[in-house]
Amino acid sequence: MATYEYRCEQCQRVFEVRRSWSDVVTAIVCPHCASAQVRRIYTPVMMFTRGDGGAVQSLGARGCAGCAASSCSGCGSAKN
In a domain, 36, yes or no: yes
pLDDT at 71: 56
CA angle 74, 78, 80 (to 5 degrees): 80
45 within some domain: yes
DSSP 8-state code for residue 59:
S
**Could you tell me if residue 79 is inside a domain?**
no
48 inside domain: yes
How many structural domains is the chain composed of?
1
Residue range 13-57, pLDDT digits in tens: 999 999 888 887 889 999 999 999 999 998 777 677 777 777 776
HEC sequence for 3-58: EEEEEECCCCCEEEEEECHHHCCCCCCCCCCCCCCEEEECCCCCCEEECHHHCEEE
Query: What confidence category does residue 80 fall into, taking pLDDT thresholds of 50, 70 and 90?
Result: very low
Q: Note the pTM of the prediction, 2 decimals.
A: 0.55
Phi, psi of 58 (to 5 degrees): -80, 150
| 75, part of any domain | no
Q: What is the extent of the structural domain holding 3?
A: 1-66
Please tell me the predicted confidence (pLDDT) of residue 67.
Answer: 59
Instruction: Tell whether 71 is covered by a domain.
Output: no
| pLDDT at residue number 39 | 94
pLDDT of residue 1: 81
39 occurs within a structural domain:
yes
- For residue 32, being part of any structural domain is answered with yes
